[in-house]
Amino acid sequence: IYIEFLVILVLVFITYGNSIKNDYNIDDGYVVSLDNANLLTKKGISAIPEIFKSTYNQGEGVTYGYRPFGKVTMAIEYSLWENNPQYSHFINLLLFALNVYLLLLFFKKIATLFNLTNQRFIYLAILFFIIHPIHTEVVCSIKNREEILSFSFLLSAILVYFKFIEQRK
């Protein structure tokens, strides 16, 4: 199991590792304290209760919904190393690798449910999931961490549900 995660990690870093050297992009201001546009995450860990009570962002006549977890991670990061896009990109890669691993576990569980013994197709699907260009914006844009976290929560919930069904408790 550790070898599978290590292989996934290596493949994710080969595919998206060049994003670590990137700076912030224009949308990252929604979750990161750039040019004093988002002072909430600049308060660091102490802002977490307030983040959970606030909207995602507001503009002229526009309010963007409720997505606290991306901002919470940015507040934690700000407490650790202030604004450092390289660390944030690195964390996005780790979180994406975790998602790929959770997806692998999900596929294996489905294969077990349907008595599929040949798992080569699962590994091929995981490889395509990693290298497919549709994930580039989500992985390489710090602001899109909430999508990565949402997928993590979804897969984790499904896997816990499968475990509940198996153990009946």
The candidate with the shortest Cα–Cα distance to 80, out of 67, 69, 91, is 91
Please list, in sequence order, all residues whose beta carbon lies within 8 angstroms of the beta carbon of residue 131, skipping any fewer than 6 positions away.
11, 15
pTM of the predicted model as reported, rounded to 2 decimal places: 0.89
- State the pLDDT at residue 24: 82
Question: What's the pLDDT score for residue 59?
Answer: 64
| Strands of 20-155, DSSP E | 57-59, 62-64
Structure tokens, 64: 């963007």
Average per-residue pLDDT in the chain?
A: 87
Q: What is the mean pLDDT of residues 34-51?
A: 78
Cβ–Cβ < 8 Å for 75, 48: yes
**Least confident window among 18-32, 74-88, 106-120:** 18-32
Give the confidence band of 152 by pLDDT, cuts at 50, 70, 90: very high
Strands 57-59 and 62-64: antiparallel
44-96 pLDDT tens trace: 899 889 988 887 766 666 667 777 888 888 888 888 988 888 999 999 999 99
